[in-house]
Amino acid sequence: MTKMRLISIFLLLLGSISLSLSSETDASKINWLGSAPDGTWTEEWFEAMPVDHYDLVNTDTFKMRYFINLHHYEEGGPIFFYCGNEGYIEFYIHATGQILEMAAEQKGAVVYAEHRFYGKTQPFGNESLSSAENLGYLTSMQALSDYALFIGHLKNTRIPGAKNSSVVAFGGSYGGMLATFFRAKYPHIVDMAVASCAPIYMFTDNGKSNNSYYYRDLTNIFVEAGCSKEAIYNSWGALRRLAKTAEGRAKLNQIFRLAKVSQIEIEGDIEILLGVFQQVLIDISMSDFPFETTAFNVMPAWPVNRSCEFFKDLKKSDEEYAEAMFQMVNLNKNWEGDRKEFCLKPGACPDDDKIGALKGWNWQICTEFVLPMCTQGLPNDFFENSCPFKSETNAESCTAVFKSIGYQPEMMSPHFTAVEYGLQLPTASRIIFTNGLRDPCINGGWSSTPKVEGSLVSLIVKDGSHMYDLCGSHVNDTESVKEVRKEIRRYLDKWLREMDGKPSTRGALSGLLPSFLLSLAVMLCIY
């Protein structure tokens, strides 16, 4: 496995983002809020955020961007606060419409804060990502301190009548990790949290002897949808054999419709194509919703089922395997059929990091979030064998990517997460963890089964993929996600009323959403 391919795989595990194969779109110019209910979002900036919350001699500050919606807010209502992930914050507003729907019921304010070093929140402007010295301030710990300080501003200055308002932290994927840690580390600031698909235990020291469970679960999602495990496994070897000859490489360039600047010219170039296919499998599994999704790439409803139409059976030739792989890539990246060619080669193609996540997130997984993941191959999964995970190889990969800006292997801190946040939550309370059985991240979360421990709650969407529960309501929503959303509402309502000293009005399964909200059918998830 090449260094570039290894890093790209790491990015997808927690980022859960769908990157275009070729695009000239500027993420900062995408109108992510165009379909938002009420159209009442305001973009604002917190002007004096400390660059370093822990060095009191360093007085440097930066501007943190956020979006706020007070359309349904009544004085004293709760603050629903989304902990920004790795990317432009508009992306997550678009992907998590359920939060605004719940805020409407609770007469709450909604705020989405952009994570430092992502989107437009760049502490050192255009130089933010240019040196290890600057990127040293890109940590989850610093980001949580940003949010803690910012909430004080919201309650005391920005939101009228909110001085005593309860704060509910929300987040999905990495944002879900932040919401969890925010509630656990700052219980005097955050009163409760909802963490969707938060893989808080996917790191070094997680106690798991086999870290190939992610790829095992990913494989099972496709096999249960009708894919042949052996057929997908055979595809890797098929492409490698084709890449060995000039004739085979020409065939690959033709099948995958590769742009001239991105063609497979030497045998080693095949690693790029294999990495893209692995990315596509992850993208499709995490976008497996019962409705068509939009934004970067239009995806059909239940794309895993659709993609398995290409891999139901074993193929008769290497070319047939390559064609099947292309059809899956085309489904993921070109469902509308308007793309005539694909550009894949790093450095030769337009920047495809549409949500502004690539460099920053790679830095984080090369420093504080070390992912001890590997693929085993058959019978565990349908990938090539890369086990066992080796810290030395991981460090080499990170050095290859970041050496030019001052990265050193010693900057990797594999035990950071366990030490800073812990591998258990013995004192935490009022956190709802949601996961989907069709999400390969599920076994890295707090629990893969429904359970309640004190006021820590695990809710499972039986047919849910990544962050499905936070998507805005849709007419095609499954019964399982509807039930989980009702339970989220029931717990939040109970806890908020306890904070206010009022009895809860919701039963075990609360009533349906107001009809005017259901009719919106917007804010579709785009992962």
- For residues 130 and 322, give the distance between their C-alpha atoms in angstroms, rounded to a whole number: 38
Omega of the bond leading into 379 within 30 degrees of 0 (cis): yes
Tokens 């429904």 belong to residue: 450
- For residues 147 and 113, give the distance between their C-alpha atoms in angstroms, rounded to a whole number: 7
Tokens 């709450």 belong to residue: 108
For residues 203 and 371, is the Cβ–Cβ distance under 8 A? yes
Question: What secondary structure letter does DSSP report for 48?
Answer: E
Of 41, 72, 71, 77, residue with least CA distance to 167: 77
Name the packing angle between helices 3-15 and 174-185 (round to 10°): 60
CB burial string 308-340: b at 16+ within 10 A, e below? bebbeeebeebbebbebbbbbbbbbbbbeeebe
CA distances from 382 to 223, 278, 379, 386, 525 (A): 10, 10, 8, 12, 27
- For residues 463 and 451, give the distance between their C-alpha atoms in angstroms, rounded to a whole number: 18
Spatial CB neighbours of 43, under 8 Å, sequence gap ≥ 6: 65, 66, 67
Structure tokens at 521: 């059918």
Q: How far is CA 230 from the centre of its chain?
A: 28
Structure tokens at 165: 């308002």
For residues 199 and 445, is the Cβ–Cβ distance under 8 A? yes
Q: Global pTM? A: 0.89
CA distances from 46 to 90, 118, 149, 373 (A): 16, 15, 10, 37
Q: Are strands 456-461 and 451-453 parallel, antiparallel or unpaired?
A: antiparallel
| Domains of the chain and any CATH numbers | 41-200+425-500 (3.40.50.1820), 212-356 (1.20.120.980)
CA distances from 445 to 73, 241, 362, 430 (A): 32, 38, 21, 16
Of 363, 361, 13, residue with least CA distance to 212: 13
Q: How far is CA 243 from the centre of its chain?
A: 33
- Mapping DSSP onto H, E and C, the string for 414-472 reads CCHHHHHHCCCCCCCCCEEEEEECCCCCHHHCCCCCCEEECCEEEEEECCCCCCHHHCC
For residues 172 and 196, is the Cβ–Cβ distance under 8 A? yes
Of 431, 527, 516, residue with least CA distance to 470: 527
What pLDDT is stored for residue 340 in this prediction?
87
Structure tokens at 280: 């596509």
- Mapping DSSP onto H, E and C, the string for 278-345 reads HHHHHHHHHCCCCCCECCCCCECCCHHHHHHHHCCCCCCCHHHHHHHHHHHHHHHHCCCCCCCCECCC
Return per-residue pLDDT of the chain as tens, 527 residues.
443 344 343 443 333 333 222 233 344 444 545 445 556 899 999 999 999 999 999 999 999 999 999 999 999 999 999 999 999 999 899 899 999 999 999 999 999 999 999 999 999 999 999 999 999 999 999 999 999 999 999 999 999 999 999 999 999 999 999 999 999 999 999 999 999 999 999 887 766 655 788 999 999 999 999 999 999 999 999 999 999 999 999 999 999 999 998 899 999 999 999 999 999 999 999 999 999 987 557 889 999 999 999 999 999 999 999 999 999 999 998 888 888 888 887 777 775 555 556 789 999 999 999 888 899 999 999 999 999 888 888 899 999 999 999 999 999 998 999 999 998 899 999 999 999 999 999 999 999 999 999 999 999 999 999 999 999 999 999 999 999 999 999 999 999 999 987 665 544 333 333 333 333 333 333 33
For residues 158 and 68, is the Cβ–Cβ distance under 8 A? yes
For residues 164 and 139, is the Cβ–Cβ distance under 8 A? no
Where residue 122 falls (left for φ over 0; alpha for ψ -120 to 50; beta otherwise) is beta
- For residues 379 and 383, give the distance between their C-alpha atoms in angstroms, rounded to a whole number: 10
What angle (nearest 5°) sits at the alpha carbon of residue 288, between those of residues 316 and 270?
45
- For residues 234 and 117, give the distance between their C-alpha atoms in angstroms, rounded to a whole number: 40
What pLDDT is stored for residue 504 in this prediction?
52
The identity of residue 333, as a single letter, is K
What pLDDT is stored for residue 352 in this prediction?
57
- Catalytic positions, written as ranges: 173, 439, 466
Q: Are strands 431-436 and 456-461 parallel, antiparallel or unpaired?
A: parallel
What pLDDT is stored for residue 478 in this prediction?
97
Q: Are strands 42-50 and 79-83 parallel, antiparallel or unpaired?
A: unpaired
What pLDDT is stored for residue 423 in this prediction?
86
What pLDDT is stored for residue 366 in this prediction?
95
CB burial string 185-216: b at 16+ within 10 A, e below? bbeebbbbbbbbbbbbbbbbebeeeebbbbbb
Of 76, 67, 72, residue with least CA distance to 102: 72
For residues 307 and 227, is the Cβ–Cβ distance under 8 A? yes
- For residues 87 and 119, give the distance between their C-alpha atoms in angstroms, rounded to a whole number: 5
